[in-house]
């Protein structure tokens, strides 16, 4: 019985200690993902088009919910724009330039220099800041 205790107690302590170390350092901590109900999502805007007239850019798009996968309706649409930097190989950095409320699917903005290529994309935003994927990117260059 004494031999059993001299082997078992250190072994049990080592197992418990290793278990505590593993639980404390289980990897990268991330925010909890809330459970998602099927259909509780927004579809991305589609058919994004840009029209340039004089010194004004007008964007239009369409949006329709997907009855099976994304049934939520957006509250507004967020419009983002990127301008190609002068450095070769630099990624496009999109910045918010405005938004438009439902059901309006038109965004207009003045432009001073229409010779600079601009990249636009639109995202639907619903209640509780639920966001869709981005629309396809459209390039405006004159």
> Phi/psi zone of residue 68: left (φ > 0), alpha (ψ -120 to 50 degrees), beta?
alpha
What domains can you pick out in the chain, each with its CATH number?
Answer: 46-140 (2.60.40.10)
* Partners of 140 in the β-ladder: 118
Closest of 105, 112, 136 to residue 55, by C-alpha: 112
- Give 71-112 as a DSSP string: -PPPSEEEEEEEE--SSTTPPP--EEEEEEETT--EEEEE-S
Total-model pTM: 0.67
Q: Tens digit of pLDDT per residue, the chain (142 long)?
A: 566 667 667 776 666 766 666 655 555 556 665 555 555 678 888 999 998 887 888 889 988 877 776 667 788 999 999 887 766 777 888 899 998 888 888 899 888 776 778 889 999 898 888 888 889 989 887 6
């Amino acid at each position: 019985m004494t031999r059993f205790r001299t082997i078992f107690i250190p072994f049990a302590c080592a197992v418990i200690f290793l278990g505590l170390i593993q639980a404390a350092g289980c990897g990268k901590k991330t925010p909890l993902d809330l459970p998602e109900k099927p259909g509780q999502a927004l579809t991305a805007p589609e058919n994004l088009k840009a029209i340039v007239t004089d010194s004004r850019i007008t964007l239009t798009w369409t949006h329709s919910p997907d009855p099976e996968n994304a049934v939520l309706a957006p509250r507004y649409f967020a419009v983002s724009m990127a301008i190609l930097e002068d450095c070769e190989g630099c990624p496009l950095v999109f910045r918010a330039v405005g938004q438009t409320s439902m059901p309006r699917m038109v965004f207009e903005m003045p432009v001073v220099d229409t010779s600079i290529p601009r990249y636009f994309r639109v995202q639907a935003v619903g209640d509780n800041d639920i966001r869709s994927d981005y629309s396809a990117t459209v390039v405006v260059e004159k």
